[in-house]
């Protein structure tokens, strides 16, 4: 079948797009507001862009009631933390996905610990296996969304997920959560290996 998005209403396009780009990693973004109040919300329109310098991006669409607190905060302070969600934190992450009044502290709501970051003015989730402290590089309007691009200036990592023999995080220990569509998520336990066809090619 073929689908021309120009013939569809906005909700139908939303459903097609969010179920096409799967599985998605989750950026659990923590910020302070201008008064120092902590905020925490998950975003799965999220990507790595480059390691030189280490740069990530997440996209923030307006909610029914207006601009999301996260976007207000990164615009005001220019700094944020991306925390990674593992299986053990799935339900707490989901609690923070609700739409709450601005004064609600999602850390308290979901019984998580907000710890001040090391190099940026933002809290991090103490219970997350990986936290990446970021400075805003650019906030780019794209359609009705804003794409926030940030450079990572500091990593916090739970010791057991770091594999010193590879210099990478151990996927079996990290157990990252994958976001799908609707209310669906995926565990990332069925891991398999495929070697690149020509690892030594330098043509």
Which residues in 69-88 contact a copy of itself (CB under 8 A)? 84
φ and ψ of 18, to 5 deg: -70, -20
Pairwise CA distance, residues 91 & 54, whole Å:
29
CA distance 64 to 165: 47
Indicate whether 48 belongs to the interface with a copy of itself (CB under 8 A).
yes
Cα separation, 57 vs 5, in Å, equals 25
Shortest distance in whole angstroms from residue 122 CB to a copy of itself: 15
Q: Which is nearer to a copy of itself, 2 or 34 (CB)?
A: 2
Q: How far from chain centre, in Å, is Cα 18?
A: 15
Candidates 29, 61, 72, 108: give the one binding a copy of itself (CB under 8 A): 61
Residue with tokens 């210099």: 167
Query: What count of other Cβ atoms lies within 10 Å of the Cβ of residue 2?
Result: 3
The contacts of residue 20 (CB under 8 Å, 6+ apart) are none
CB of 90 to a copy of itself, least distance (A): 7
Among 47, 77, 136, 139, binds a copy of itself (CB under 8 A): 47
What is the footprint of a copy of itself within residues 99-158 (CB under 8 A)? Answer: 99-101, 118, 130, 132, 137, 140, 142-145, 147, 149, 152-158
Q: Please, which residue, 77 or 153, has the CB nearer to a copy of itself?
A: 153
Among the residue ranges 14-22, 28-36, 70-78, the one whose residues contact a copy of itself (CB under 8 A): 14-22
């Amino acid at each position: 079948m073929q689908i021309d998005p120009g013939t569809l209403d906005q909700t139908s396009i939303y459903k097609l797009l969010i179920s096409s780009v799967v599985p998605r990693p989750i950026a659990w973004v923590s910020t302070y507001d201008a008064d120092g109040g902590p905020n925490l919300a998950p975003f799965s329109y999220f990507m790595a862009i480059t390691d030189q310098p280490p740069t990530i991006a997440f996209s923030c669409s307006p909610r029914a009631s207006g601009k999301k607190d996260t976007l207000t905060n990164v615009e005001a302070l220019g700094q944020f933390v991306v925390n990674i969600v593992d299986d053990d934190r799935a339900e707490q992450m989901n609690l923070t996905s609700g739409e709450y009044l601005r004064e609600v502290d999602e850390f308290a709501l979901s019984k998580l610990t907000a710890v001040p970051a090391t190099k940026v003015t933002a809290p991090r989730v103490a219970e997350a296996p990986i936290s990446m402290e970021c400075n805003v590089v650019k906030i780019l309007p794209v359609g009705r969304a804003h794409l926030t691009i940030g450079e990572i200036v500091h990593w916090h990592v739970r010791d057991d997920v770091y594999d010193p023999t590879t210099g990478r995080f151990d996927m079996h220990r990290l157990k990252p959560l994958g976001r799908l569509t609707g209310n669906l998520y995926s565990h990332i336990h069925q891991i398999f290996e495929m070697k690149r066809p020509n690892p030594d090619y330098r043509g």
